[in-house]
Amino acid sequence: MNQLKNQPYYVRLGYAVAGIKAVWRRESSFRIECGIALATILVMIVLQPGWLWAAIIALAIGLVFALELVNSSLEYLIDHVHPDFAEAIGLAKDAAAGAVLLASLGALTAGFMMLAATVKF
């Protein structure tokens, strides 16, 4: 039986935080996304777009972060299990990166829509 499976919640939470810290240290794209998220939050504080827009933007940010973590975990696992180049592995990594890109474009679209709805030009 896996000894890690039934650890107390606070222990498993620690593993999750350690994973986020590892991705922060290793992935410049994650750090850039964090900077963009912070800038977005600051813009929302200034504009005060309302709770619905804040929720939409928070979900978009969370989705980008979650997919970046999944993308990174897939890359780490694949690189460990199969360090040599293989076309199928390259395609899997590209597809995971594409998921992050699509989520980022969705978040950017939501941000522009929030600006259009909030800022009177």
Q: Point out the residues that are catalytic.
A: 68
The DSSP-derived string for 57-96 is: HHHHHHHHHHHHHHHHHHHHHHHHH--S--HHHHHHHHHH
CA atoms 17, 19, 35, 57: torsion sign? negative
For residue 84, the tally of other CB atoms under 10 A from its CB is 6
| Eight-state DSSP code of residue 119 | S
Q: Which two tokens stand for residue 38?
A: 């912070």
Q: Which two tokens stand for residue 64?
A: 């980008």
Residue 32 and residue 108: Cα distance in Å, rounded? 14
